[in-house]
């Protein structure tokens, strides 16, 4: 058995009082013992000294694993319906390299586990090949992950068909048909996963899924986790006029249960939150992305007061360099803006134990015997969780351990992502002229979509 001892000036974990001059003993990949350093001193020879804070690593519970921000594709954040149409113009980058660069960026901000969402492309083999490449790239960084293959068969990047603008849909890329979904989902779930990687599936969003697709996913899910976008934009509830809401359709096809997590959840009514609470499903708050895409503000305090397990997603779609500390502060700001504040302790809980619950990581987000040894060391003067949330930043992350293994040392990932980053920027540059042409062709459509969506507010 490999044993590692970390001595910290302060240990901070959600729901536990701060411990000062404390020690954590890691046995292989789990925490074996936690207590006062004075109880251990003299009995151990090799110790990692942390003159700052040790806390559980963060969980980014919703990510698209973008290694290159969409800004650099010339696709800045804008009103949601127009923005999602604009993704059709994005450059096609290597999924292995994107996931590798994204994983390194997350680890260096103290994220030890991520729920990554990879869209299935239109062809069965390509969908699997691309998702497997992302899995390999992500796993090579040492991060823990739940990698979700996402399916859609109804005009994913289209404006609302409720507006009868289906003609615009012809410009959109083809999608994997529902008849292929069960085959691809089973193959994805049944394969061997790299170390620290779990596989999940999910509809990209209920509004973008036929009943046949939702039923196919429900038939394959078994005990695997399911993840989806849930009522992100105000238009998603009645995206197809007269149809059930996405939440109702998840429920009626059997997908609303304690293995489901839904991202965003901005537009959920009180009765819908009651339904989610009763199901045991988790919600994932993405405050930075919600602001950037003008979708509105989620009432997170209402989630927590109902006992809904809740995590936080950095949501790589619309943020530059990830910083979980900023996203925790955005979580507090959002709650403040909707006049239903939450505490820093609750935001920290969402970023650690809540996110672990959403990803199905048993005992995750805690510093306790038997919990996974996913820990971070911060160069930060903080004696309470309030201090950590108020004053922390990605820059103060010095060391990161995932399953007991050091994956960030002196603030830098042990995996060199520079070659992958260079390949990605090369791909982006070589596609620049073609991408600008695609975007120019879409420009009028995007403006029209934005006007139509704004008119329906
Ligand atoms: Zn998303």
Same domain for 75 and 195, yes or no, is yes
CA of 133 to the centre of ligand 1 (A): 19
* DSSP-H helix ranges across 14-94: 80-86
CA of 224 to the centre of ligand 1 (A): 19
pLDDT tens string 58-74: 999 999 999 999 999 99
CA of 403 to the centre of ligand 1 (A): 27
Q: How far is CA 60 from the centre of its chain?
A: 5
Same domain for 406 and 286, yes or no, is no
Same domain for 216 and 125, yes or no, is yes
Percent with pLDDT over 70 in the chain: 95
Report how far apart, in Å, the C-alpha atoms of 210 and of each of 109, 154, 207, 222 are.
38, 7, 8, 20
pLDDT at 155: 75
Cβ atoms of 331 and 60 closer than 8 Å? no
CA of 50 to the centre of ligand 1 (A): 35
Percent with pLDDT over 90 in the chain: 79
Same domain for 213 and 114, yes or no, is yes
Note whether residue 257 is domain-resident: yes
CA of 62 to the centre of ligand 1 (A): 6
CA of 357 to the centre of ligand 1 (A): 18
CA of 276 to the centre of ligand 1 (A): 19
What is the average per-residue pLDDT within 122-134?
95
pLDDT at 157: 66
**What's the token pair of residue 403?**
């399953």
Average pLDDT taken over every residue of the chain: 93
CA of 263 to the centre of ligand 1 (A): 7
CA of 400 to the centre of ligand 1 (A): 26
CA of 311 to the centre of ligand 1 (A): 14
Same domain for 92 and 115, yes or no, is yes
CA of 262 to the centre of ligand 1 (A): 10
Distance CA 38, CA 351 (A): 30
What is the average per-residue pLDDT within 180-197?
96
Distance CA 195, CA 197 (A): 5
**What's the token pair of residue 330?**
């955005």
pLDDT at 158: 67
Note whether residue 27 is domain-resident: yes
Same domain for 202 and 306, yes or no, is yes
Which of 314, 262, 261, 322 minimizes the C-alpha distance to 289? 314
CA of 436 to the centre of ligand 1 (A): 24
CA of 34 to the centre of ligand 1 (A): 36
pLDDT at 301: 96
Same domain for 91 and 4, yes or no, is no
pLDDT tens string 165-180: 655 555 566 788 899 9
CA of 51 to the centre of ligand 1 (A): 37
What is the average per-residue pLDDT within 359-385?
97
Domain count along the chain:
2
**What's the token pair of residue 188?**
């994805």
CA of 232 to the centre of ligand 1 (A): 9
pLDDT tens string 220-250: 999 999 999 999 988 888 777 667 899 999 9
Note whether residue 122 is domain-resident: yes
pLDDT at 424: 97
84 pLDDT above the threshold of 90: no
- Report the range of poorest mean pLDDT among 109-118, 171-180, 392-401, 436-445: 171-180
Same domain for 380 and 258, yes or no, is no
Which of 308, 307, 355 minimizes the C-alpha distance to 327? 355
In terms of pLDDT, which residue wins out, 112 or 292?
112
pLDDT at 241: 66
Note whether residue 208 is domain-resident: yes
CA of 25 to the centre of ligand 1 (A): 37
Check which CATH number belongs to the domain holding 255 and give it: 3.20.20.140
pLDDT at 172: 65
CA of 430 to the centre of ligand 1 (A): 27
Residue 47 structural domain: 1-56+366-413
* DSSP-H helix ranges across 284-354: 287-292, 300-305, 324-337, 344-349
CA of 371 to the centre of ligand 1 (A): 28
Note whether residue 308 is domain-resident: yes
CA of 229 to the centre of ligand 1 (A): 6
CA of 277 to the centre of ligand 1 (A): 22
Same domain for 384 and 246, yes or no, is no
pLDDT at 236: 84
270 pLDDT above the threshold of 70: yes
Distance CA 127, CA 119 (A): 8
What's the whole-model pTM score? 0.96
pLDDT tens string 13-61: 999 999 999 999 999 999 999 999 999 978 888 899 999 999 999 999 9
Note whether residue 435 is domain-resident: no
Report how far apart, in Å, the C-alpha atoms of 161 and of each of 83, 166, 230, 235, 307 are.
16, 6, 18, 10, 35
pLDDT at 318: 65
User: How would DSSP label each residue in 178-192?
Assistant: HHHHHHHHHHHHHSP
Note whether residue 433 is domain-resident: no
Domain stops at, among 339, 364, 389:
364
CA of 40 to the centre of ligand 1 (A): 45
CA of 63 to the centre of ligand 1 (A): 6
Check which CATH number belongs to the domain holding 34 and give it: 2.30.40.10
CA of 386 to the centre of ligand 1 (A): 28
CA of 331 to the centre of ligand 1 (A): 17
Same domain for 130 and 211, yes or no, is yes
Cβ atoms of 81 and 445 closer than 8 Å? no
Same domain for 253 and 132, yes or no, is yes
pLDDT at 334: 93
Note whether residue 419 is domain-resident: no
């Amino acid at each position: 058995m490999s044993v590692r001892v970390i001595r910290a000036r302060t240990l901070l974990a959600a729901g536990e009082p701060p411990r000062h001059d404390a020690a954590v003993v890691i046995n292989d990949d789990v925490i074996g013992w936690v207590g006062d350093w004075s109880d251990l001193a003299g009995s151990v020879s090799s110790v990692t000294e942390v003159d700052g804070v040790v806390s559980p690593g963060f969980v980014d519970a919703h990510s698209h694993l973008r290694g290159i921000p969409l800004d650099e594709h010339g696709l800045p954040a804008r009103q949601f319906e127009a923005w999602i149409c604009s993704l059709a113009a994005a450059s096609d980058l290597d999924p292995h390299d994107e996931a590798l660069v994204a994983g390194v960026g997350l680890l260096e901000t103290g994220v030890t586990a991520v729920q990554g969402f990879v869209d299935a492309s239109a062809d069965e083999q390509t969908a699997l090949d691309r998702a497997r490449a992302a899995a390999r790239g992500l796993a090579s960084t040492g991060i823990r992950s739940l990698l979700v293959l996402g399916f859609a068969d109804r005009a994913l990047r289209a404006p609302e068909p409720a507006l009868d603008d289906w003609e615009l849909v012809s410009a959109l890329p083809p999608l994997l048909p529902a008849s292929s979904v069960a085959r691809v989902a089973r193959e994805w779930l049944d394969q061997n996963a790299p170390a620290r990687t779990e596989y999940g599936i999910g509809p990209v969003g209920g509004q973008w899924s036929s009943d046949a697709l939702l039923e196919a996913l429900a038939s394959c899910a078994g005990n695997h986790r399911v993840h989806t976008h849930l009522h992100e934009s105000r238009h998603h509830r009645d995206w197809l006029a007269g149809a059930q809401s996405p939440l109702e359709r998840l429920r009626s096809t059997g997908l609303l249960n304690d293995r489901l997590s839904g991202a965003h959840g901005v537009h959920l009514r009180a009765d819908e939150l009651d339904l989610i609470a009763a199901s045991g499903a988790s919600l994932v708050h993405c405050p930075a992305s919600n602001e950037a895409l003008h979708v509105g503000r989620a009432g997170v305090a209402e989630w927590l007061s109902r006992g809904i397990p809740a995590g936080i997603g950095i949501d790589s779609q619309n943020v530059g360099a990830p910083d979980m500390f900023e996203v925790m502060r955005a979580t507090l700001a959002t709650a403040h803006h909707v006049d239903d504040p939450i505490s820093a302790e609750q935001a920290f809980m969402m970023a650690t134990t809540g996110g672990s619950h959403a990803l199905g990581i048993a005992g995750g987000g805690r510093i306790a015997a038997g919990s996974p040894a996913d820990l971070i060391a911060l160069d930060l003067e903080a004696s309470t969780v309030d201090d950590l949330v108020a004053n922390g930043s990605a820059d103060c992350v010095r060391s990161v351990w995932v399953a007991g293994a050091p994956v960030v040392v002196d603030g830098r990932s042990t995996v060199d992502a520079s070659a992958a980053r260079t390949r990605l920027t090369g791909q982006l540059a070589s596609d620049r002229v073609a991408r600008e042409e695609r975007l120019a062709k879409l420009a009028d459509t995007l403006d029209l979509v934005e006007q139509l969506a704004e008119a329906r507010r």
